[in-house]
Amino acid sequence: MPVLEKEGTQVWRRRTRGEALWRWFGWLIGVAVFAVCWQQISASTTWFFVWDAPRIADDIWTRATPPRWEYITQLGRPIWDTLNIATLGTLIALFLAVPVAFLAARNTTPSTLFVRPIALLIIVSTRSINSLIWALLLIAIIGPGVFAGVIAIAIRSIGFCAKLLYEAIEEIDHGQVEAITATGASRWQVMAYGIVPQIMPAFAGVAVFRWDINIRESTVLGLVGAGGIGLQLSSSLNVLAWPQVSLILLVILGAVVISEWVSAKVRGAII
């Protein structure tokens, strides 16, 4: 009851006194929990390593600079592999995500009782497992190499793409679908004319967004042996070749910056 009568005028407050007290009490609890956590963490920290960290970081920095520039000749092929893993993986994922999205969207699914839960399960299960773990599994199944990387990226991306797409499908303007239906169009024609044009911008957005993410994800896949530049990264790390590591990180940075730029351009062109 935030409106009070006070000397004949109506005073409005955002919260009643009780509510305000409860909020202050909540903040107090929050601060207390923070303090306790701080104490716990600091008790179980080996402080020597923390105090030592700047020195070690400085040591690695001096070892890693300057990057070993001539190593770049050996990185062309791996970074190309990485880009291919990301691009192919994204294409396969989109190809598989579209039907899943239509089956999952409430307004297009053939059956809310059976088909939709299955589609949602596909979305959740592919999304919940990191691509690195998918890669580990797939390497055991189909052997190490680029192909395992492509499939790992593809599987990981299905759920993400399908989820965003089915949300776009559920948000379409029903009037346009109704109008196409009223002309006597078949189920597939309603889809092609009433639904697809409406979700095209979302589809393009999702595609470039996921491609952008996949470039970053595919750079680390090599760490577990699934091809790409991560392979070079892990072997350089293993032999403590810090100047090579720093060059690889620079190359990855360059690739990511370029992909960001491309996806920003594409998104700008579509919307």
Q: How far is the CB of 12 from another protein (least distance, A)?
A: 34
Q: Among residues 2 and 197, whose Cβ is nearest to another protein?
A: 197
Does residue 268 interact with another protein by CB under 8 A? Answer: no
Q: How far is the CB of 197 from another protein (least distance, A)?
A: 4
Does residue 234 interact with another protein by CB under 8 A? Answer: no
Does residue 26 interact with another protein by CB under 8 A? Answer: no
Q: For residue 74, what are the contacts with CB-CB under 8 A and spacing of at least 6?
A: 232
Q: For residue 123, what are the contacts with CB-CB under 8 A and spacing of at least 6?
A: 100, 104, 158, 159, 162, 163, 166
∠ CA(79), CA(241), CA(77), 5° rounding?
15
Does residue 270 interact with another protein by CB under 8 A? Answer: no
Handedness of CA 153, 156, 161, 164 (dihedral sign): negative
Does residue 99 interact with another protein by CB under 8 A? Answer: no
Provide the CB-side half-sphere exposure for 131 (13 A, CA).
Answer: 32
Binding to another protein (CB under 8 A): which residues in 194-223? 194, 197-198, 200-201
Nearest-CA neighbor of 104 among 167, 160, 157, 189? Answer: 167
The residue from 91, 145, 193, 225 that contacts another protein (CB under 8 A) is: 193
Give the C-alpha separation, 254 to 119, whole Å. 37
- Binding mask of the shown chain, residues 166 to 185, with x at each position contacting another protein by CB under 8 A: -------x-xx-xxxxxxxx
Does residue 62 interact with another protein by CB under 8 A? Answer: no
Give the C-alpha separation, 103 to 96, whole Å. 11
Residues that bind another protein (CB under 8 A): 173, 175-176, 178-186, 188-189, 192-194, 197-198, 200-201
